[in-house]
Amino acid sequence: MRTEQTMIALILSIAEKDERIRAVMMNGSRVNSNVKKDRYQDYDIVYYVHELNSFLADHSWVNAFGERIIMQMPDAMSLFPSDWPGFSYLMQFADGNRIDLTLLPVEEIKNQSKFDSLSVVLLDKDKKLPHLPKPNESDYITKKPTPEEFMDCQNEFWWVATYVAKGLKRSELPYAKSMIEGPVRSMLVLMLDWYIGSKHLFKVNTGKDGKWLERYLDKKVWGKFVSTYSTGDYQDIWRGLYAMCSLFEDLCEVVANKLEYPLFSDHKKVLDYLKRLEKQ
């Protein structure tokens, strides 16, 4: 596997040799000092370029980065249409490295009012990029919810929980699993973020999709969270749903007390409805 030093040198070498590439920026976990480095980290790279269309006319230019096992170009895919000014190459290489490379027109530099807080300028041929502060997690810190956001999260969780129950009663496994692992879980994770944030003065980053939740939760709460994951068995999904409801209730109470926010008043009614529906 090519080392980080080798990869950065390659990324810069390609940029330095191509007059169309005017600046290079790196974002993400590789510039985050709070993230332990490992072999699975991507290289999140931005090339600011002239003549963007000339790159897109022949995609073979990215072969210079090495042997790939797969590449995705989201902005060229009809399944995921895009209308933004850039173009991305997501490249997984045979040696285990991965580069997520975004091309942006140089003109976009002046259109960006703010750059990601986890950004480092690697190359700036024309000195057009602003001086950036030391990379930090400020854009990713869990923010304190407003009372309205806190209430909306509760409403969404309990509202969509009824969809899960109906899907289970109708033996609609894909739908029930989509609801419980989509909107219901996203609200549970959001409440966990606020629970952790409220205990750490809203100065921590739990990671994308809560990937670092375990770092901040005690073993008891983490165990309850793990128990919310269910199999494809209908009865086990009911069990997982009730486990989610129980944990969500506990979290809401703690956050509400900590932030002095009101609790959603109808959750007991919803829970009773779920139980009645299960027994029908």
Q: CATH number, domain at 186? A: 1.20.120.330
CATH number of 107's domain? 3.30.460.10
Burial of 209 (0-12, 13-18, 19+ CB in 10 A): exposed
Whether residues 246 and 190 fall in one domain: yes
Phi, psi of 77 (to 5 degrees): -95, 130
Closest C-alpha to 257, from 182, 162, 150: 150
For residue 260, being part of any structural domain is answered with: yes
Whether residues 151 and 119 fall in one domain: no
| Structural domains in the chain (count) | 2
Per-residue model confidence as pLDDT tens for the chain (280 residues)? 999 999 999 999 999 999 999 999 999 999 998 888 898 999 999 999 999 999 999 999 999 999 999 999 999 999 888 888 999 999 999 999 999 999 999 999 998 878 999 999 999 999 999 999 999 999 999 999 999 999 999 999 999 999 999 999 999 999 999 999 999 999 999 999 999 999 999 999 999 999 999 999 999 999 999 999 999 999 999 999 999 999 999 999 999 999 999 999 999 999 999 999 999 8
Q: Name, in order, each residue with C-beta under 8 angstroms of 36's C-beta and a sequence gap of 6 or more.
A: none
Whether residues 181 and 273 fall in one domain: yes
Domain boundary among 91, 124, 157: 124
Distance between CA atoms of residues 190 and 142, nearest Å: 9
For residue 27, being part of any structural domain is answered with: yes
Q: Name, in order, each residue with C-beta under 8 angstroms of 185's C-beta and a sequence gap of 6 or more.
A: 228, 244
Whether residues 64 and 115 fall in one domain: yes
How big is the chain, counted in residues?
A: 280
For residue 219, being part of any structural domain is answered with: yes
Strands 98-105 and 43-49: parallel
Whether residues 151 and 274 fall in one domain: yes
Question: Domain range holding 154?
Answer: 147-279
Whether residues 114 and 237 fall in one domain: no
